[in-house]
Amino acid sequence: MQLRFFSVLFLIFIFFAEHLTMLVAGSDVRAMFIFGDSIVDTGNNDFLDTNLKMKYYPYGIDFPFGPTGRATNARNPADILGELLGLPPFLPVFYDPLTKGSSVLAGVNYASVGSGVLDSTNQDEDIVPLSHQITNFQKATLSDLRSQLNGSSELSSYLSQSIFLVSSGAVDYLSDCFESGQINCNLEEFTELLVGNFTEQLKRLYESGARKFVVLNTQPIGCRPSARQLNNGSCVKAYNDASIVFNNVLRVALDELSEEVPGFMFSYVDMFGIVSSMIDDPATYGLKVINESCCVKVKQLGNPKCEEGVEPCADRRSYAYYDATHPTETVYRQICERAYASQLISDVYPFNVKHIASLRSEYFSTSLSLSSKPWANDA
C-alpha cells in the first residue's frame, strides 16, 4: 500500500514537471467548462444509475489514479486541453457531491458517456443529454460562481475569459441512424435537426455568459474497430459520409453564429481530418495498429467496451483505439496539441485554441447582463 502511495505521488510529480511550461503559457484562461459525450466525460456517469460506465480495469490503466470513468487508457481531450491551457489538472465532475463552492473556480466537467445532442438519444439509459448538462451549469454552477466572485460584473469578466469545450453529435447518429453498416434515417433532415439543436445549446451557453467556444467535430466513426467489423475490416464509408455531412453543416452553423452574435468566438477542431491523417499514415504519428482495439478482441466486438479485468495490449502507445470506439491517449494528445497550436485551418478553424485563449475580455464588445437572466438569482 505504501509503495503504491509513493508511486502515485511520483506520477503526479512527473505530470507537473512535464507541463510546467504549458502552465505558464496558458495563464490567461480562468476556467474551462466541458460538455458532451464519452470523448470528454471524466467520470460523471460513475455517479449515475446507468450501465454506461467505464470505472473498471483496464480503463485508466495508464492514468495516475486508475479507472475514473474515462473511456480510454489515460487522459482524454478534457484533461489534455486543460493542461495546455494551464489549468489545474483533472477538473471536477458535476455529479461528484464535492463539486461545489470554490472547487468550481477552475471549471467543471458536465459530460456524460452515451449522451447526445438530442434529449431522445439513449433516453432508456440514465445519462445526461447536452441540454440538461447546460441546465446544470446554469442552475447550479452559476450560483456557486456568483457566490465565489464579486457580483455579476466580476462573473461576466470571468466567464468571458473561460473556455467552453463541447463534443457531441456522434452518439445521436450511432443510436438513431446507423444499423449493420447502413444508414437508416434521412441523413439530410436528421443532420439539420441535430445541428439546429446543437446551435441552440451553444446560444444558451452564450446567454449565460460564455464567449470562447472550442467545438470538437465527429471523428471518422466508420473507421472505429466496431464499425470495421461490419465491413470485413475496412472503414464503413456510409458512416464516414454521415460524419462529413454533420461536420460540414456544423462548421457553417458556427460561422453564422459568429456573424450573428456579438463576441461569439470559436475554435472548430477537425477531429475527423486529424484522425483520418493518422489512419492514412500511422507511422508518421508513431502508430502501428489503426484497425483493432487494444482491449477488445475481434470476437467480442458486439460489446465495444473493454471487458472488465481483461489485460489490454502491452504497447498502448502504438494503438489508435483503446476500446472498439474510443481512441487512445496517444491519439487524443496529438488532436489536442494540433487544436491548441496548429496554424492550419484544416486542423482548427478559424483560430487555434491558444489564440482565442489569449484574447482579453476587453475584446468582447457585448457586456453580459447576467442579472437579467431567469437563473441569475437561483439559490
Tell me, yes or no, if 347 is annotated catalytic. no
* Catalytic-labelled residue, pool 46, 62, 270, 323: 323
Q: What is the DSSP string of 251-280?
A: HHHHHHHHHHSTT-EEEEE-HHHHHHHHHH
User: Which CA distances in Å does 195 have to 30, 163, 200, 206, 272?
Assistant: 29, 21, 8, 16, 17
Q: How far apart are CA 359 and CA 305, in angstroms?
A: 40
How does strand 265-269 pair with strand 319-321?
unpaired
Q: Which of 46, 79, 157, 326 is catalytic?
A: 326
Q: Provide the 10 A C-beta neighbour count for residue 140.
A: 18
Cβ atoms of 245 and 172 closer than 8 Å: no
Q: Which of 19, 38, 162, 176 is catalytic?
A: 38
Exposed / middle / buried, residue 283 (Cβ in 10 Å: 0-12, 13-18, 19+): exposed
Q: Are 343 and 355 in contact (CB under 8 A)?
A: no
User: Is position 131 annotated as part of the catalytic site?
Assistant: no
Say how many residues make up the chain: 379
Chain centre to alpha carbon of residue 177: 22
Catalytic residue check, 132 = no
Catalytic residue set: 38, 323, 326
